Amino acid sequence: MADETKTPGIPETPEPAAKPEASAAPASGEKPAAAAKPAAPAAPKPPAGPKKWEPTGEIAENVPTQALKARFPEVLGVKSPCGEATLLLPKARLIEALTFLRDDGACAMDYLSDMTAAHYPVNDKKFEVVYHCYSLEKKHSLRVKVQLDDGEACPTATAVWPGADWMEREAHDMFGVVFEGHPNLKVILLPDDFEGHPLRKEFPLGGAQEAMIRTNRYGKPVLLPDDLEEARKALKEPRNVR
């Protein structure tokens, strides 16, 4: 299948492996020159390691970003290619800032539209927890992020928005992010005895327990396109990929 050419841009182990893909994808891409300013000088140094995930675009401003920046000076603006207001909060003051967003008259972000996490194995801080807040009254929205190390706990937002309950449980299932102070942090979507956190990048698509090579009903090995290299090695004798 077409996937053969590029094993997914996912480093198997964060540091040593799979550097070429991770750095090649953004640098050699067909990016129009507009947003490529930071990438251009980074391109001629291949041994520097995998390229960190760094969004392109401009930092957008709206009422809540200004209010939050005025109140919390350590807040950082994050670039967004499509003009969405995004802020990076310090973990220590996360709940304070979220409560401020909810209660402040100018922000009035009373509605938590979405909450999730994402995994960036090559970044210094490997996990991001992302909140999408919205104000039903003022009709503005804001994305708020907090960065975490592997194994670092995130304070729970259930006291601010009770609706974060299941969303945090889901993020805990999928990424293993622990939400401190969550009233009921147990598995929600996965089976109770599931091992691993499936949306982490090192988790294989076929599942941890599944063998790299499956056999079809005629007993012939079937290679999963994503584990092709591994599977070839294990198979010794390469066969046709179905």
Report CA Rg, the chain.
Answer: 21
| Contacting residue, 16, 46, 49, 81, with another protein by CB under 8 A | 81
84 binds another protein (CB under 8 A): yes
1 binds another protein (CB under 8 A): no
155 binds another protein (CB under 8 A): no
113: nearest Cα among 132, 97, 98: 132
Q: How far is CA 220 from CA 4, 182, 226, 240, in A?
A: 20, 48, 18, 10
126 binds another protein (CB under 8 A): no
77 binds another protein (CB under 8 A): no
222 binds another protein (CB under 8 A): no
46 binds another protein (CB under 8 A): no
43 binds another protein (CB under 8 A): no
d(CA 168, CA 174): 10
101: nearest Cα among 73, 78, 74, 134: 134
11: nearest Cα among 45, 40, 53: 53
76 binds another protein (CB under 8 A): no
User: Least distance to another protein from the beta carbon of 218, Å?
Assistant: 25
The SS3 call for residue 112 is strand
Q: Which of 177-186 are b and which e, b meaning 16 or more Cβ less than 10 Å from the residue's Cβ?
A: bbbeebeebe
Q: What are phi and psi of 84, to 5 degrees?
A: -95, 130
User: Least distance to another protein from the beta carbon of 86, Å?
Assistant: 8
| Contacting residue, 37, 41, 73, 82, with another protein by CB under 8 A | 82
Stretch that binds another protein, among 65-73, 93-101, 109-117, 234-242 (CB under 8 A): 109-117
Q: At what angle do helices 94-103 and 63-71 cross, to 10 degrees?
A: 130
Q: 179-198 mask for another protein (x: CB under 8 A)?
A: --------xxxxx------x
Contact residues for another protein, defined by CB under 8 A: 3, 6, 8-10, 25-26, 29-31, 35, 53-57, 79-82, 84, 86, 110-114, 116, 118-119, 130, 132, 136, 139, 141, 143, 161-167, 170, 174, 187-191, 198-199, 203, 205, 226
